[in-house]
A = this chain, B = another copy of it.
Amino acid sequence: MDAGFEAHLRADGVEFDATDAELLRTIDSEGSLNRAADALGRSYSRSLQRLTELEEAVGPLVARQRGGSGGGGSELTDEARDLLARFQRLRAEFTGTAEVEETVLFGRVVAREGELATVETDAGRLRALAPDSDGAEAVQVAVRADTVTLHDPGDAPAEVATSARNRFEGRVAAVGEAEAVARVTVDVGAEESLVAIVTTSSVEKLGLADGTPVVASFKATATRASPRER
């Protein structure tokens, strides 16, 4: 059971999605909307219709010429390339959040200041963004493994000297190394242990192994609380 998504960029009511990006990219490589459509196994009429819908919303995307050498052809505008680049970044970020592991902590909101909440969990207090959980007391806090930074306790920054508001002391419980990225679980004295994804070079530099004392920190603005079901 794994997470998935469909990303889109919305402008003026229409949503530019992955199939639209595919269409634009294929027009770019084929040089014509006609060839792009049947390279993708789509109908020409639908492809043109979709393209004009998009252009009505976001402006010119494809410079189309009918007639001329070879009968004509189509070429992407600079705006189309920018759009594709932005969509690709969006996709990359989404796949990251879809695939990254997270540690889930359950707790209660004890204070709230704007969309920033202070949550009491069995691992201790932490601060997290709680945008839509308005008024909910019982919350679940998800800590993305790629947002957790590990520090050498001897050289960890003082609490006032960094903008990482959440800080837990603990010991390494396990290190699982892959090619360039390692999964480190840190026992922070709670039922659930904190998972951090770090580079293998960080594992070396910090000398991480089972039992190594570490300080784990993560930013409040990178942590999200949502209402707990039931």
Contact = CB atoms under 8 A, between A and B. Distances in A.
Interface residues of A, number: 82
Interface string A200-225: 01100110000000000101111011
Interface in A29-77: 58
Interface in A59-118: 81-82, 84-85, 88-98, 102, 104, 113-116
Contact of A161 (B8, B11, B156): B156
Nearest to A162: B151
B197 A221 contact: yes
A177 to B, nearest CB: 11
Contact of A11 (B1, B163, B202, B228): B1
Contacts of A84: 229
B156 A157 contact: yes
A7 to B, nearest CB: 5
A206 B161 contact: yes
A199 B116 contact: yes
Contacts of A102: 89, 93
Given A6-B8, A155-B162, A160-B206, 9 more contacts: A2-B10, A3-B10, A92-B132, A94-B98, A95-B132, A149-B217, A151-B163, A156-B162, A198-B219
7 contacts: A4-B15, A88-B226, A92-B224, A94-B94, A96-B97, A156-B161, A162-B206
